[in-house]
Structure 1
């Protein structure tokens, strides 16, 4: 017997297993990071500083320095998400991509691993459409900038065709006839 063809109304997502893997890794990274920051706040001393053993320079070799550079499992999971999306040619949504630091692969959570501020560099902040959200990674210091409050401009082809149709809806002249 031949396989029955799927109806046109039911469409399947290509590489569905990769999408589910990326979603799982993202959830795992956020969970681990929330547990990690919760543990750090619980370990604070009365002076407000966290206790960590000092690292001597002669004890650090290349493999240990690379481990210190990546700072744990959540960053490794974010690297894994990037590699899966590249290998499987999966496009991550902008909301997901905005939560990753591009330089150090840290998951950006406001208040714990990142800080955010609203900036308006227009003349005295008079232009409300010039608001920019600046998100700063607290581990590497990199900044990401996102426009806020303004809609994305349409493509030029869409703007030109819409403007022409508004000027001449039925091909008639836009000037009114004047009786003399």
Structure 2
């Protein structure tokens, strides 16, 4: 029963919109170019209009004479940078997991487990079901430790954090 519910959750998550389709890692490599002039961190309010919005970021490059040269980076690179700018912060992981526990109590129980970190993931383990849910680089991941043949190769990508955060009522 628990496995079939997890399959339902996975199936539903695959139907979510693909917000922030750029590469976080590629965007992270480009961001130091921005920091050569802007010393703000990636989460600074200055970058808010450009989170997950490569079109808006390209427009900013084109409107600002000092940044106009970056308009030639190409749509993929600009999209990667916009995706990196849109990374949620660690508080978003806790909010997302709390919401997930309230929304899917059959899968994520008992509720309000301790949030841990390992290998770049921020995660919670749910001992009643043997499920791990975590985030890494703005992506939500699920691992069923009790599934037949479970190994680290069976970690499943559920979607972007942003797509889930956008579903949360009243931004929780």
Shorter-chain TM band: under 0.3
Highest RCO, 1 vs 2 (Cα 8 Å, sep ≥ 6): 2
- Structure (1/2) with the larger strand percentage: 2
- Structure (1/2) with the larger helix percentage: 2
TM-score (norm 2): 0.23
Kindly name which structure, 1 or 2, has the bigger radius of gyration based on alpha carbons.
Answer: 1
